[in-house]
Each structure stands twice: as C-alpha cells, then as structure tokens.
Amino acid sequence: VWMFRAVVLGAASSVLRLARAVKPPLPPRVANMQEYFRHDGVRITHDPYSPGMSEKYGKPGKTDNEGFDPYADTVGAGIYGGIVKRDDQGNVVVGKQYQNHNPRPGPIYAGGGYTPMNEALRKGPAALAPLLNKYPDLVNDISTGGATPLHMCGM
C-alpha cells in the first residue's frame, strides 16, 4: 500500500511540474501589448492607450477624478465607494452606473464623493468609532459599485 501511494504521489508531482512548465501561448493582441504598471508596481492588464480610451475617459492627466482613470488604473467615488442616490424610503436607486463603467445596472452615484463611512475607514479607528457609535447601521452601508464597508477595507 505504501509503495502504491508513493508511486501515485510521484506521478502526481510530475504531472504538476509539467503543467506548470507548459504555458499556453498568449493571444496575439496580448502578446504584442506593451506592459504598463501602476505607481505601486502592479501591472495594468489593459492597454490604457488603446483606441477610444481617451474619448471615453479623457486624456492622460485630464480624466474625471470621480470615474475611471485608465492610465493610473484607478477608480473614483463614482465607480466604487461613493454616495448613492436613495428614494423617499431610503432605498438605494439602481440604474445606469457612472460612466457606464459597468454596463449592468447598479447603485447610481449621487455625487459628493465617498460615503462618510468610507471616508472614516480611510482615516482609521479614531474617525470610525464615533461614526459607528452614532450610526451603527452603517456597517452595512451600500455605496457605488455595490461596495459595502467590508469591500472598502481592502481598497
């Protein structure tokens, strides 16, 4: 039994090594694409200078700071973490998202930047504790992109 187990494990190990060594070729568009990196060193996986990018989002240095900046690979409050429109009952209004960045319906940006909860998260415990003591329901707050405070903790 132990010998059979050793043979199976050895074979599995060889298959895994082979699978890691053999990589499928990249599609021509990706293989020929120049690599771009964010300021923090993360590789940008799209071509920020592809046709139509500047018409949709603006030229480098001239993008909407509340939307998508393809050159920095960042999004602003209109896309993720921003204040959302609410109806008379306080329900989140769902419809066309900011800049149509996501073509699916989602929470509509109301303008005004990031939610108070997301601003407090950015500032840290000294800002977060008093806000949550006063408004404990904000732990489940919804912002643009459908983001909750838990989503924003990693941003």
Answer yes or no: is pLDDT of 29 > 60.
no
3-class DSSP state of 90: coil
**Which residues does residue 37 pair with via DSSP β-bridges, in sequence order?**
43
Find tokens 């960042």 and name the residue.
74
Higher confidence at residue 19 or residue 34?
34
Answer yes or no: is pLDDT of 13 > 60.
no
Confidence grade of residue 144 (pLDDT, cut at 50, 70, 90): very high
CA 117/CA 138 separation, integer angstroms: 7
- Global confidence as pTM: 0.72
Largest interatomic CA distance in the chain: 71
Q: Considering the chain, what is the average pLDDT of its residues?
A: 85
Secondary element (H or E) of residue 54: helix 53-57
DSSP state of 34: P
Q: Contact, 44 vs 73, CB < 8 A?
A: yes
Burial classification of residue 76, based on how many CB atoms lie within 10 Å of its CB (0-12 exposed, 13-18 middle, 19 or more buried): buried
